Every structure is written in C-alpha cells, then in structure tokens.
C-alpha cells in the first residue's frame, strides 16, 4: 500500500479516506469466479437486461491480479478450496469477497462430504448473499451494499481502530443460540 496508510489521523486522513473510498467503489473489478448455478446468474447480471455496467463493474477480469472483488458464485468443493484460496491470495489489496448463494455462504442443502460448509472457512467474506441462486437483482443489491462498505472503509490508524472495535464487538456478541426476540 502507499502513502495514505502513513497519514496522521485527523482531517487529512478522513478526507483521503472519503476520496479513496469513492474512487475504489466506483470501479470495482470483479474476478470471474463462477462455480455453479450462481455463475449463470452472475453472467446474467452482467448481460443486457440487468447491465452491471451501470455500476462500473461490467469488466470481469480473467486474471486475479487485475481484480479486487471475488464473487464466489456457487458451491465450493473440497477439491476446489485450495484453488480458491490461491486465486484469492493472488489478488492485490484492497480486496473484497462476496459469497453468492447459500452453498458458498454455508454449504446450503449440500451438507455432505464433498462441499466446504461455507467459503468463510477459506477466505474472509464481506457480504453473504442468500438465495439458491440469488436473483440478479439480489446480486446487484449485494454489490451496492459492498459499495457502501467500500466507501466507508477506513485507512491507516483509523483502520486499525476500526479493526480493534470490530474485534471487541465480535468478542462481546452473543452466540446465535442465546439470542432472543426476532434474531432467534
């Protein structure tokens, strides 16, 4: 990473953060990581009717070196898992991951020997997108939510602060099994 990580906290850093976030979110290059059914819906999203080009994202890169978003579209098998991690490692920072569909998010209906029960066992996931497969509109919604996240991402000392806070919140969070009310 460059100079922006070394900026002192304060007015300059937050301004650079906003500028960098805006630039980054406006032109996200997804890597083609189509695996199964969801890949077809991902292609549909890029095609005429849904037209992902409206969000500056129609250029799916064949090489992970040129991509900063990995849309894991489909079920990840045990055999594919090392490949997936390798492709992720080849992507330059900053990078994001959308786990598209239930199979990628949690294994879905394929709770068996062959499928990794959630791609978050292998790579950190930013957005979980449910559906089997999710409609193109849902994928676009996930992408817009990711854009918001990218826009609001922190840099330098602020990023360290944010990571610390997130860690704290995760440690204090109730396990799902103890949640009450609507979250149950």
Partner 1 sequence: MSDEHNGSSVPAPRDEHGEVIGVRRGMFGANNGGDTSGYGGLVRTVALPGASSRPYGGWFDEVADELEGALEEQGLVPENAIEKTVVDRDELTFHIAREHLVNVAKTLRDDPALRFELCTGVSGVHFPGDKGRELHAVYHLRSLTHGRLIRVEVSTPDEDRHLPSLVPVYPTNDWHEREAYDFFGLVFDGHPALTRIMMPDDWQGFPQRKDYPLGGIPVEYKGAQIPAPDQRRSYS
Partner 2 sequence: MTTPHATPRATTEGTVYTVTGGDWDEIVENAAASDDERIIVNMGPQHPSTHGVLRLILEIDGETVTEARCGIGYLHTGIEKNLEFRSWTQGTTFVTRMDYLTPFFNETAYCLGVEKLLGIEDQIPDRATVLRVLLMELNRLSSHLVCIATGGMELGATTIMIYGFRDRELVLDLFELITGLRMNHAFVRPGGLAQDLPPGAVDQLREFVKTMKKNLPEYDALATGNPIFKARMQDVGYLDLTGCMALGATGPILRSAGLPHDLRKTDPYCGYETYDFEVPTADSCDAYGRFLIRLEEMRQSLRIIEQCIDRLEPGPVMVADKKIAWPAQLALGPDGLGNSLDHIKKIMGTSMEALIHHFKLVTEGFRVPVGQAYTAVESPKGELGVHVVSDGGTRPYRVHFRDPSFTNLQAMAAMCEGGQVADVIVAVASIDPVMGGVDR
Residue 55 interacts with partner 2 (CB under 8 A)? no
Residue 36 binding target from partner 2, partner 1, none, CB below 5 to 8 Å by type: partner 2
Residue 144 neighbours by CB distance under 10 Å: 12
Residue 140 neighbours by CB distance under 10 Å: 18
Residue 166 binding target from partner 2, partner 1, none, CB below 5 to 8 Å by type: none
Residue 177 binding target from partner 2, partner 1, none, CB below 5 to 8 Å by type: partner 1
Residue 9 token pair: 């906290």
Q: Which of 42, 52, 68, 75 binds partner 2 (CB under 8 A)?
A: 75
- Which of 59, 89, 76 minimizes the C-alpha distance to 120? 76
Residue 105 binding target from partner 2, partner 1, none, CB below 5 to 8 Å by type: none
Determine the Cα–Cα distance for residues 67 and 117; give it in Å rounded to an integer.
25
Contact indicator for 70, 123 with CB cutoff of 8 Å: yes
Beta bridge partners of 71: 98
Residue 113 interacts with partner 1 (CB under 8 A)? yes
Which residues make up the interface to partner 2 (CB under 8 A)? 32-37, 39-41, 43-44, 47-49, 60, 62, 74-75, 77, 79-80, 83-84, 87, 109-115, 132-133, 135
């Amino acid at each position: 990473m460059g100079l922006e990580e070394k900026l002192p906290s304060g007015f300059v850093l937050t301004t650079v953060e906003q500028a960098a976030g805006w630039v980054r979110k406006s032109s996200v290059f997804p890597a083609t990581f189509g695996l199964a059914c969801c890949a077809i819906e991902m292609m549909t999203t890029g095609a005429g009717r849904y037209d992902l080009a409206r969000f500056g994202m129609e250029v799916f890169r064949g090489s992970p070196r040129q991509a900063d978003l990995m849309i894991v579209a489909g079920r990840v098998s045990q055999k594919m898992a090392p490949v997936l991690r390798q492709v992720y490692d080849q992507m330059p920072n900053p990078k994001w991951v959308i786990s598209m569909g239930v199979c990628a998010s949690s294994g879905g209906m394929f709770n068996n020997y062959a499928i990794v029960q959630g791609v978050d066992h292998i790579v950190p996931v930013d957005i979980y997108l449910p559906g089997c497969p999710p409609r193109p509109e849902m994928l676009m919604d996930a992408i817009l939510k990711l854009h918001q996240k990218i826009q609001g991402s922190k840099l330098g000392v602020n990023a360290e602060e944010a990571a610390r806070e997130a860690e704290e919140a995760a440690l204090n969070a109730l396990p799902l099994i103890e949640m009450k009310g609507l979250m149950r």
